[in-house]
Chains A and B, each alone.
Chain A
Amino acid sequence: MREVSLAISDVAQNSIDAGAKHLRIAVGVDEECISFEVSDDGQGMDKEVLTAALEDGKSFKGSSGIGLTLVKENAKQFEISSEKGIGTTVRASYLRSDGAYLGDFGATMLTLVGDFDTVLELSVYGRTKRIDTGELKSALSVAELQSRGVLRLMREDINKFIRQNGGANL
């Protein structure tokens, strides 16, 4: 997955599948790297499960078991830590010289407003943006945020921020 936004979406789905109610997503972009960290308060994994989770084709939820393998595939650095009953944190960093690009992160964030809260901390060349979907949900239901176009505005807002600070090819 060279589009880092898709890798983030993949990792976030693991958090959702693990029953997380809070996701924290930090994304950082500079000249060389695109990095992200996804941490959750899902059910977490003990050492044995964590080791197996990193094996290609191994799954504990009836899926293909290739997700983390793909996320790791092009990463320059990859770290995962997890504690049973506490949650999981995944960190990955990609070299832009390897062809990694952030892509349509706005579209990824639109899909991460659900019955869990997502806090996004986005940093592009030192310029930062923070979005807490819990704040949006405090006023409107998710269905209303969708149908009234609030999430479309959020998507456009994020992508505009990325293009303005990181350029068209980020």
Chain B
Amino acid sequence: MKSIADINEIRAKMQAQICLRDNSDMEKEIHIIVGMGTCGLNAGARTVFNALVDEVETKNIKGVLVTRTGCMGNCADEPVVEVHVPGKETVKYTKVNAEKAVEIINNLVKA
């Protein structure tokens, strides 16, 4: 893959599949939030965010959204990751690194 043009090509290929998306999937979406304020970033939150996204792709899991947020008020415990599974209690992970990120996704698959 050399350029954004290639990405656009992939996107075009995927376009056909989008119509098949069921809107009710949105309600079932698992939401993973990474604290990326100054403290989170300096503790390695960017690496964690990327590792989470990579693992979701590797495991080919659908219906998971990874987003960033600002300071979560636990500066000493950063990087902090919150996992929101619809219908379940929110789970907060602290001092996350790339390996722990893989574990977090593994736990989702098991659940």
Contact = CB atoms under 8 A, between A and B. Distances in A.
Interface of A: 1, 6, 9-10, 13-14, 16-17, 59, 61-64, 66-67, 70, 104, 107-108, 110-111, 114-115, 129-131, 135-136, 139-144, 146-157, 160
22 contacts: A6-B41, A9-B36, A13-B36, A13-B38, A13-B70, A63-B70, A70-B38, A111-B46, A111-B50, A115-B67, A139-B11, A139-B15, A141-B21, A142-B67, A143-B63, A146-B64, A154-B4, A156-B1, A157-B1, A157-B2, A157-B3, A160-B2
Give the interface centre of A141, A146, A152, A157 by most chain B CB atoms within 10 Å: A146
Contact of B7 (A66, A104, A129, A153): A153
A73 B60 CA distance: 41
Q: Which 10 A-B pairs have the closest CB atoms?
A: A63-B71, A67-B38, A143-B65, A17-B70, A139-B11, A146-B53, A149-B57, A111-B49, A107-B50, A153-B1
B10 interface: yes
A152 B53 contact: yes
Contacts of A16: 68-70
A143 B68 contact: no
B14 interface: yes
- The contact size tier of chain B is 35 or more
Contacts of B12: 139
Interface string B29-46: 100001011110110001
Contacts of B4: 129-131, 154, 157
B41 A136 contact: no
A154 B7 contact: yes
B67 A61 contact: no
Contacts of B60: 147
A6 B36 CA distance: 10
